Structure 1
Amino acid sequence: MAERVARHLVATGHLIDEDAPLALEHAIAARRLASRIASVREAVGLAAYRAGEWQTAISELRTYQRLTGRQTHLAVLADCERALGRPEKAVDMFRAADKAKLTQTEAIELLIVAAGARGDLGQRDAAVAMLQVRELTADSAESWAGRLRYAYADALLGAGRTEEAREWFSRAAEIDEEGTTDAAERLLELDGVNLEDDEDEDDEDGESGESGADGDESDEDYEDDEEDGESDEDDDDLDDDDDDDDDDDDDDDDDYDDEEDDDYEDSDADDESDEDDVDGGGAPVDDVDDEFDDDLDADGVPERKQDERPAAGDAQA
């Protein structure tokens, strides 16, 4: 059983960026086999978040938090509250967080989400003020630095401070070498460059260039149609033999998004009851291929940089 759980978890990690719903199916299959394992509940929560199943993500990540005592995914929980139209809860989560227990990355991600929630509430200037922390100008190449600058630029734009927003989108693009944000595209938009129009023109040019060649080849292709017709008929039923392999995947997955917890303030009182609110038995999805046997990588945690601004964990909500 342990091997089956491990294979589903590895599949979840490999698929989460490419096919989040399928990754969620694998995570749920692992949960059926080992519902009291913290890493399993974490995997279900993160896959549900990527698949847009906000309430399921909240339920699973709160359970993970109670099982481990960690606040690792507070930013994800707060973002789920925003997605469900409850930005005030995201702000409350930021206020209630024990900043001393958060890594620098976790603190900054939670700050970014809380500032976005302020913007959702129409408090544009407050969102800008929240993001004015010392890490904003830190000389760091970590991915959180680019996201923090991007969030600050977006908050400035929301507050109507366009020129300042342009400057900070530019500063975000400078250090976002991996393209984790669309800072470069936002900068071009502020400069009046419409990327969609340019792409449409390129597509039209390509289609016009191909039309002439298609006309010249039409006569040559006509004689081959009859021969191709017979071979095409043989391919119609090619995929019919694989249908039976998926019968075990469809039975029990509809119940996973029915779980709802009380607000996070009541989480301590629910420590014993929430561990049991999982699905009963059911058939797991098919085992993944051997390519999923490698271990998942873990990101390192950068150290804080110091200057005169307040730290991300000390920002006022």
Structure 2
Amino acid sequence: MTEPVAREDHVEIADAEFRDRRRGNRGEDRRPGRGRDLDDATLARELLEAPELPEDIEFSDLDPDARRELRTLPKSLAETVGKHLVAAGNLIDTDPEAALAHAKYAKTRASRVPIVREALGLVAYHAGRWQEALAELRAVRRMTRTDQHIAVIADAERALGRPERALDLAKEMQGHKLPRDVEIELKIVAAGARRDLGQVDAAVVSLQGDDLDPRKRDPWSARLFYAYADNLVAAGRTDEALRWFLHAAEADEDDETDAAERAAELANG
């Protein structure tokens, strides 16, 4: 996946049910709301609903921390779910709808595993399915009691036309100890929400601070410089924006932004 993954919880699964499935027996499902028997027709339908996996997908391709979390599942089920998570991660940039199909299937098989819900939330976010992303990432937040994805949640609120809610989340996190990359990302989202509300000057000021230093090369520097430049453009401060787009381009070693193109447009405009 494209974002850091929180893996601080685990899930309790009825191992007996899955052992019975693998043996082809009819085991009793003790979870509320489910039938007593898992017959061959049910298993066949689940297999037919599974999106096809590329032949070169391996469980070992999954992040080691994610594999450890999936070990709360029976081995064969963990490998199946893990392969669909790998497929989702591989497709997220090129075919987000196909990635979403793999992530949704993984959820049908292991809905209580935080890493699975997290994967679906992030894939839904990248596919522009804001409401689904919110539902899944809120669930992860409850399950893990962490705020690892609070910036993504806030940005989904903003995408749904609720910038005030995004700002409320940013305010709620004040005084909380967040990972620095998450803190900066939330700061960028909050600035965008202020701009949505017409508070352009406030958006610019909110991004200023010790991290806004063109000499810095932290993992978040390019995105912060870019966001600052973008808000400067909105404020009509194009000369300053050009400088900061250039700073962003210099810091963007992984080509995550189009800072160089934006700088060229301003220079030629």
Which range is displaced more, 159-168 or 62-71? 159-168
- Deviation at residue 98 of structure 1 after TM alignment: 5.1
Alignment of 1:36 onto 2:112: yes
- Deviation at residue 99 of structure 1 after TM alignment: 4.9
- 1:46 is aligned, of 114, 118, 122, to 122
Alignment of 1:189 onto 2:265: yes
Letter matched to residue 150 of structure 1: Y
The aligned counterpart of 2:80 is 4
The aligned counterpart of 2:220 is 144
Alignment of 1:157 onto 2:233: yes
The aligned counterpart of 2:143 is 67
Letter matched to residue 169 of structure 1: F
SS of the residue corresponding to residue 56 of structure 1 reads helix
Provide structure 2 residue ranges, at least 5 long, that are not aligned to the other structure.
Answer: 1-76
CA shift digits 1:269-294 (9 cap, x unpaired): xxxxxxxxxxxxxxxxxxxxxxxxxx
- Deviation at residue 136 of structure 1 after TM alignment: 0.7
CA shift digits 1:40-87 (9 cap, x unpaired): 100110010011100000000000000000101111111111111111
Whole-Å Cα distance in 2 between the matches of residues 24 and 133 of structure 1? 37
| Conservation of the 8 A alpha-carbon contact between 1:153 and 1:168 | yes
Letter matched to residue 10 of structure 1: V
Whole-Å Cα distance in 1 between the matches of residues 164 and 99 of structure 2? 30
Whole-Å Cα distance in 1 between the matches of residues 216 and 235 of structure 2? 26
- 1:105 is aligned, of 157, 160, 181, to 181
SS of the residue corresponding to residue 191 of structure 1 reads helix
The aligned counterpart of 1:175 is 251
Whole-Å Cα distance in 2 between the matches of residues 179 and 47 of structure 1? 21
The aligned counterpart of 2:199 is 123
Whole-Å Cα distance in 1 between the matches of residues 175 and 232 of structure 2? 25
- 2:154 is aligned, of 61, 69, 78, to 78
The aligned counterpart of 1:315 is none
Taking structure 2 as the reference length, the TM-score comes to 0.69
CA shift digits 1:132-159 (9 cap, x unpaired): 1111116432331011011111111111
Paired positions, count: 193
The aligned counterpart of 1:132 is 208
Please identify the structure whose Cα radius of gyration is greater: 1
Give the root-mean-square deviation of aligned CA atoms: 1.3
Letter matched to residue 168 of structure 1: W
| Conservation of the 8 A alpha-carbon contact between 1:71 and 1:101 | no
Whole-Å Cα distance in 2 between the matches of residues 7 and 164 of structure 1? 47
Which range is displaced more, 56-65 or 138-147? 138-147
- Deviation at residue 165 of structure 1 after TM alignment: 1.0
SS of the residue corresponding to residue 134 of structure 1 reads coil
SS of the residue corresponding to residue 140 of structure 1 reads coil
| Relative contact order, higher structure (CA 8 A, sep 6+) | 1
SS of the residue corresponding to residue 136 of structure 1 reads coil
Whole-Å Cα distance in 1 between the matches of residues 176 and 100 of structure 2? 32
| Conservation of the 8 A alpha-carbon contact between 1:41 and 1:61 | yes
- Deviation at residue 2 of structure 1 after TM alignment: 2.0
Provide structure 1 residue ranges, at least 5 long, that are not aligned to the other structure.
Answer: 194-317
Report which of the two has the higher share of helix: 1
Aligned counterparts, 1:216-295, within 5 A: none
| Conservation of the 8 A alpha-carbon contact between 1:149 and 1:172 | yes
- 2:97 is aligned, of 21, 26, 31, to 21
Whole-Å Cα distance in 2 between the matches of residues 43 and 64 of structure 1? 10
Letter matched to residue 30 of structure 1: A
Whole-Å Cα distance in 2 between the matches of residues 98 and 117 of structure 1? 16
